[in-house]
Amino acid sequence: MIRAMVGDLTKVEGIEYICNAANGIGPMGGGVAAAIRRAGGRVIEEEAIRVCQAQDPKPGDLYVTGAGSLPFRGVIHLVTMKQPAGATSYDIVRACLERLVAYCREHGIKKAALPALGTGVGRLDKENVARLFVEVLGPVEDVEFVVVDIDQAFIDFVQQRQ
């Protein structure tokens, strides 16, 4: 199930994990990643770099770090591109969403918040990404996904498709 709202992902209440639109090498220099790093501390980025060096995640994968000073159990990093500000695709976003659902189910996570994926530096069309969110996350009944983004248009697209 999906709930969508405009807001700051790092300030959502009642959530176990937040998701980051991540690269596969760890630096959290821009967009949502930078906002998470600023709010939760550099410790998140430092752990992300270590995890990426150990696991070498590919686009479509995910990895998890602590949440630093943020009030969440952790940060789920959805790898939408290998290099910072690199290319992504709708297939990669779909794979990230499908892996997120599987990870939440495997680990008993009932509430996770995530931003638009691939619509910033990835330059994917917001309406098409919103459609993917609804297709993949909408039918899930055992996990609540809260889509939180600063982009009103993206949130409107998600809400219109539910």
CB 12 within 8 A of CB 146: yes
CATH number of 1-158: 3.40.220.10
pLDDT tens digits for 92-149?
A: 999 999 999 999 999 999 999 999 999 988 899 999 999 999 999 999 999 999 999 9
Parse the chain into domains and list their residue ranges. 1-158
pTM above 0.95, yes or no: yes
* Residues in CB range of 108: below 8 A, 6 or more apart: none
CA nearest to 142, candidates 85, 86, 104: 104
The strand pairing partners of 5, in sequence order, are: 148
Cα distance between residue 109 and residue 103, in whole Å: 8
Place of tokens 């596969």: 24
Cα distance between residue 90 and residue 96, in whole Å: 10
pLDDT tens digits for 11-55?
A: 999 999 999 999 999 999 989 999 999 999 999 999 999 999 999
